[in-house]
A and B are shown apart, each in its own frame.
Chain A
Amino acid sequence: MKILVCISNVPDTTTRVKFTEGNRNLDSTGVQWVINPWDELSLTRALELKDNASNGISSVTVAHVGPASSEPTIRKALAIGADDAVRVNCDASDSYSVALQLAEVVKEGGYDIVMCGIESSDHNGSSVGGMIAGLLDVPLVSAVSSLDLRGGEPLISREMDGGREIVTTSLPMVAVVQKGIAKEPRIAAMRGIMMARSKPVKVVEPVDTAALTEVIEYEIPAPRAACRFIDPENAAELIFLLQNEAKII
């Protein structure tokens, strides 16, 4: 069984974002690039599944759509433990075109389980995984908070409003994962970092596609009005303000 983990390259989540060129592009000065947090957790879970030999997983591959400059993020995924990587050599312009490129990778590689994070922390699109399933017409389970294998069949918890369901489906499938899929992201050990250098990264050229959406500009929300401090000895004043000034309780 082969697992494909789709990874996106995002600014470290503590970055205070700024924009350039008429607020059209991220100002990448000083930005630390990392694997999107949910993708890192899905990679961790894929490796945990592979660690258990009885699951019979032959490889965990990471796929990424992006230019050569995102190679360090791919190497990081290899250092964490992915066996190999595929990079589609183009800019990630919008979620549909990224999904289209990744769907090609899935078709070519014949993966059984495709894992995608619920969203990337930059575009918050919540779309790529679902689009891959829609394009390939393969089973999709979204809001996945745990993924196991039971005799070669995926056993999944998915979050529902007000509860969760334990479900199963046939392979190949796409799992869109979220909180709970793995406890902590796996960290690369020195040996992993050394080995990552020699692991194969296959670079493929993109298929023809056009973006369906485009960001025209970004805006940083206006800071909220300064905090109004209330004397800790006078909690009643806060309740009064919430009732009479904010009118929300």
Chain B
Amino acid sequence: MSLLVYTENWNGKFKKLSLELVSYASGVGEIMNSDVIALTIGPVEEDELMRLAEYGASRIIVAEHDALKEYDTLTYASVITQLAEKEGSDVIVLANNNQGKGVAPVIAARLAAGLAAGVTGLPVSVDPFRIDKRAYSGNAMARLEIKTAVRILTLAQNSYDLKSNRRDAVIEKYQPVIENSPAIKIEDVQRQEGKLLLTDAEIVVSGGRGMKSPDNWVHIEELASLLGGATACSRPVSDEGWRPHGEHTGQTGKVIAPNLYIAAGISGATQHIAGVSSSKYIVAINSDKDAPIFEVAQYGIVGDALKVLPALVAAVKAAKND
């Protein structure tokens, strides 16, 4: 038996998420006594590939094929399915991100394998196979039993701590059989170059209606940039057009789990909390002491965000100069 982890790469580079996946897979592999095979769809340079060995991959497979240059969901799913069958993998691990959410259910359908989406930890038991996952949009955890011999897991981002587990890994090239040409044709690509992605950020500074005007986002941006974080907003703010939709965090926007989430002028509607409740620390700044955001925050300041944020900026600057 083996454990297959699909690690996406971004123009040939891995991210912390990729390492988290391998580290997680190696944790599952330890429980199940299986070796970890990491698959990426290439091309990726050897040095970059070897980073996966640091976290427990004992075989690193790079699939290359002309039909894989662009991301076609069904084609990528076929490649992963094919390799899982060839290697007799009984657990397949993917990220619960855009691509993982796309391909995992297709693999599950093709293999008639049970899928647990958005898992946050190792299985609680292997026989029967039981694992905890997010449910009711963060308001509950569900203990899910997967009844099939092959299990597919998608790991929530920033939910598993990296553990060094160096292996002498071998790198293998893999040329999958691709019968159908990709169904998706790409007409245009719009990239945000150089900007820290909200879902990758370990620190997020977010503003709500309490910020009063889009002009006041200078404070949010300044604090985020000082802390090396990304900016976000609540739904009313993106609906008003004060901030781009991509920044909306919450149940129907982005679900994030940074180490630190600073909510300024956000009251904390259930739908907003659903998108940020997995953050390790939440700081709330709100002028209403009864705002529900304080129920989920570890640290709170009751006050006007427009006054508190500049004070925080000054305090971070002072702390950095110490």
Majority-rule SS of A interface residues: mixed
Q: Which stretch from B27-35, B45-53, B55-63, B311-319 is at the chain A interface?
A: B311-319
Q: Is the CB of B189 within 8 A of A163?
A: yes
Indicate if B36 sits at the interface (CB-CB under 8 A).
Answer: no
Q: Is the CB of B141 within 8 A of A235?
A: no
In chain A, positions 86-134 with a C-beta closer than 8 Å to chain B are 94-96, 99, 118-119, 121-134
Point out the residues of chain A lying under 8 angstroms from B114, CB to CB.
94, 96, 212-213
Q: Which residue in A37, A137, A240 is a CB contact (below 8 Å) of B251?
A: A37
Indicate if B140 sits at the interface (CB-CB under 8 A).
Answer: yes
Q: Is the CB of B105 within 8 A of A126?
A: yes
In chain A, positions 215-249 with a C-beta closer than 8 Å to chain B are 215-221, 223-225, 227-232, 235-236, 238-243, 246, 248-249
Q: Is the CB of A99 within 8 A of B115?
A: no
> What is the CB-to-nearest-CB distance from A187 to chain B, in angstroms, rounded to a whole number?
15
Q: Is the CB of A235 within 8 A of B301?
A: yes
Q: Is the CB of A127 within 8 A of B142?
A: no
Q: Is the CB of A162 within 8 A of B195?
A: yes
Mark interface residues in A116-159 (1 if CB within 8 Å of B CB, else 0).
00110111111111111111010111110100000000010011
Point out the residues of chain A lying under 8 angstroms from B210, CB to CB.
none
Point out the residues of chain B lying under 8 angstroms from A158, CB to CB.
98
Indicate if A214 sits at the interface (CB-CB under 8 A).
Answer: yes
Q: Which residue of B lies closest to A127 (CB)?
A: B105
Point out the residues of chain B lying under 8 angstroms from A145, CB to CB.
245
Point out the residues of chain B lying under 8 angstroms from A179, CB to CB.
245, 248, 252-254
Interface size class of chain A, counting residues whose CB lies under 8 Å from the partner chain: 35 or more
Q: Is the CB of B248 within 8 A of A124?
A: no
Count of A-B contacts judged by CB separation below 8 Å: 284
Separation of A135 and B105 alpha carbons in the complex (Å): 10
Separation of A142 and B130 alpha carbons in the complex (Å): 28
Point out the residues of chain B lying under 8 angstroms from A221, CB to CB.
139-141, 277
The listed residue with most B CB atoms (<10 A of its CB), out of A11, A139, A173, is A139
Q: Which residue of A lies closest to B111 (CB)?
A: A134
Point out the residues of chain B lying under 8 angstroms from A38, CB to CB.
252
Q: Which residue in B107, B147, B277 is a CB contact (below 8 Å) of A211?
A: B147
Q: Is the CB of A124 within 8 A of B135?
A: yes
Majority-rule SS of B interface residues: mixed
Indicate if A80 sits at the interface (CB-CB under 8 A).
Answer: no
Indicate if A59 sits at the interface (CB-CB under 8 A).
Answer: no
Indicate if A14 sits at the interface (CB-CB under 8 A).
Answer: yes
Point out the residues of chain B lying under 8 angstroms from A11, CB to CB.
136
Q: A13-B270, A118-B101, A228-B299 are in contact. Are A238 and B312 (CB under 8 A)?
A: yes
Residues of A in contact with B (beta carbons under 8 Å apart): 11, 13-17, 19, 37-38, 41, 94-96, 99, 118-119, 121-135, 137, 139-143, 145, 155, 158-170, 173, 176, 179-180, 183-184, 211-221, 223-225, 227-232, 235-236, 238-243, 246, 248-249
Residues of B in contact with A (beta carbons under 8 Å apart): 10, 71, 73-74, 77, 96-99, 101-110, 112-118, 130, 132-137, 139-148, 154, 183-192, 195, 197, 199-200, 202-203, 227, 239, 245-246, 248, 251-254, 259-260, 269-271, 274, 277, 280-284, 294-304, 307-308, 311-312, 314-316, 318-319
With A125-B117, A219-B132 already in contact, 9 other A-B pairs whose C-beta atoms are closer than 8 Å: A126-B104, A130-B102, A133-B73, A164-B190, A218-B143, A219-B143, A232-B307, A236-B311, A246-B281
Q: List 13 A-B contacts (CB under 8 A).
A: A13-B274, A121-B136, A123-B142, A163-B189, A165-B189, A179-B254, A214-B144, A215-B145, A228-B298, A229-B301, A232-B303, A235-B308, A248-B280
Name the 5 nearest CB pairs between A and B, nearest first: A130-B105, A134-B109, A232-B303, A139-B183, A142-B102
